[in-house]
Structure 1
Amino acid sequence: MSKLHLVFGGRVTDPMTLDFQDPANLDVIGIFPDYAAAEKAWRAAAQRTVDDAEMRYVIVHLHRLLDPDQTTSAS
């Protein structure tokens, strides 16, 4: 299985949480085939909003959601 990663972000109610203010209007950056590509996209998106403490971008490991029994040591 591909190790897909989703990068998205948006305005949060509290910078210490992932409680997005408006989930319907999240900024979806994309789905990436590996962590390195996802991290590069995440860094670029986060850097654009570095001065806005209420904006958060995250990387979601889609492959872990699709196959929860998959171990981290499996390739």
Structure 2
Amino acid sequence: MVSEETSPQRLHLVFGGELKSLSGVEFRDPAAIEIVGVFPDYASALTAWRGKAQATVDNAAMRYFIVHLHRFLNPDAA
């Protein structure tokens, strides 16, 4: 028998790419945006984000972001 999770699923998306400017969040080539993945919780998304951010530290224009998908899927939830 599979046990039910006690906490609600909170999906997070990690993605990134090279920005046009260090002062903005517009991507140089939107077709080249890298989707790192969708993660079941913030902690695992943060781990993936840190890995990608550290791997691209030599390129100041590379930025990775975490999107709280669960907030888009259920905007009425507190």
Which range, TM-score by smaller chain? 0.7 to 0.9
Q: What runs of 5+ residues in structure 1 fail to find an aligned partner?
A: none
Q: TM (normalized to structure 1)?
A: 0.88
Q: Which runs of 4+ in 1 moved over 2 A?
A: none
Larger radius of gyration: 2
The structure 1 residue matched to 2:56, chosen from 45, 49, 54, is 49
Matched residues, number: 71
CA distance in 2, matches of 1:15, 1:32: 27
Task: Normalising by structure 2, report the TM-score.
Answer: 0.85
Task: Say which is worse superposed, 35-44 or 23-32, in terms of deviation.
Answer: 23-32
Which residue of 6, 9, 16 maps to 2:13? 6
Are 1:24 and 2:31 an aligned pair? yes
| Unpaired stretches in structure 2, ≥5 consecutive residues | 1-7
Secondary structure in structure 2 of the residue aligned to 1:64: helix
- Identity among equivalent pairs (%): 55
Q: CA RMSD in A?
A: 1.0
